[in-house]
Structure 1
């Protein structure tokens, strides 16, 4: 998957098999959906080796989500950039980790924290989740408290200019970071990435999405947050 994943489950009755199922699922996703593995379903479809009616239900769902966000952003978010192969990773990450969180719930977990490269799905909180400063690696912008739901951040600090504005084909540079809180990590991660791709206009776009709360730092280093974004809390222990 290209990012570290950690899991904490605080339910005494939930066995280690639940955690094993989470990591087995994420490894399966990596094999099936990675555009960097020639034999993956995504790569084969991108090369035209699979027809649309031959795709798995999972990939159809992912591609439908990609198209939904492409339309919603006027093309800023696009899994099919010119000169590049099919790359649905911006959807696959949040979607797959949300599915992993649902596996935990199905196994009886009620209090858990699943952290995938800084994007977090939690249940049974309160949990404290830190939002990293976009320019200072060892500092946090804020720490929010969340009981059930998800938090995702899109930024340049880990992978540089990796988010491309599909309308221009150039790296998105209007924002330093965008953090979105939503009911699911599927939505939080997709909205954060799409908003970042849109640049400065992405803040209002993300804030207008039903059920989404936003904390953003623009290129001028101004902090903008929606009224419903969880208030900052003090103390250590951020996930």
Structure 2
């Protein structure tokens, strides 16, 4: 945790990735306590949902070692949200993508949004919480300065594909192959989804923005039409051959 001239910053390694907190409000004692609680929250969620830990609730549930009613409320909430996302996406989002119970496609965004909410409730209204590259933005970077988020180009290392500008609460989530390869699978065939090099979604809150980005990436050719049916969401995509497309409303956020 470090104070700066403009607020408070912290980096935490958890959930197999890096979370960063950029708080632009004056760091009051309440905000400091909320930041510490947000970090503890992330570690609790990791203990519940890690598919790499045999003692996590989600692993034990998958192996029939416990029942759903034995799990904490957070597990019920996440699985309910996953069911809603599966319905909204016509099954293109799935918690059983490879034959095992894995809600990871929703958990990281949900945990990041919850951490952001803890800060907001404590009086931090101008924040960026970054969960492994997916962001929940609130307020502004400075009184007269919008947040600016660079989206890495998946085919040109070191270059940006676009820059998203936000002067109000906004979530930004990118699914792609640049860092983790073809890790998103088509839930209907079990094969890696390969229509896109990357797909970025913007929306009001990160839980569904991140989830819908995964679903759109898996959906492939029908993704643009589907995103355009979602109220409050816009998308930007880069195809493997370098071509790009944007939904009509994306012009309000990115180049």
Q: Would the TM-score normalized by the shorter structure come out above 0.5?
A: yes
Deviation for aligned residue 1:209: 1.0
Structure 1 segments, 4+ long, off by >6 Å, are none
Deviation for aligned residue 1:132: 1.1
2:224–2:247 Cα contact (<8 Å) kept: no
Q: What's the counterpart of residue 142 of structure 1?
A: 162
1:119 to 116, 126, 134: 134
Separation in 2 of the partners of 1:206 and 1:158?
Answer: 24
RCO comparison, higher one (Cα < 8 Å, 6+): 1
Structure 1 residue runs of 5 or longer lacking an equivalent are 234-239
Separation in 2 of the partners of 1:81 and 1:13?
Answer: 42
1:5 to 8, 12, 19: 19
2:154–2:197 Cα contact (<8 Å) kept: yes
Coordinate RMSD, CA, aligned: 1.5
Separation in 1 of the partners of 2:241 and 2:176?
Answer: 14
SS at 2:60 equivalent:
helix
Q: Aligned residues, how many?
A: 232
1:62–1:92 Cα contact (<8 Å) kept: yes
1:106 to 121, 124, 129: 121
Deviation for aligned residue 1:87: 0.7
1:185 to 206, 209, 220: 206
Deviation for aligned residue 1:54: 2.2
Cα distance per residue 1:1-56 (max 9 Å; x no partner):
11111111111143422221221111111111111100001011111122222222
Q: What's the counterpart of residue 232 of structure 1?
A: 254
2:186–2:218 Cα contact (<8 Å) kept: yes
SS at 1:8 equivalent:
strand
Q: What's the counterpart of residue 7 of structure 2?
A: none
TM-score after normalising by structure 1 = 0.92
Deviation for aligned residue 1:59: 0.9
Deviation for aligned residue 1:176: 1.2
Structure 2 residue runs of 5 or longer lacking an equivalent are 1-14, 141-145
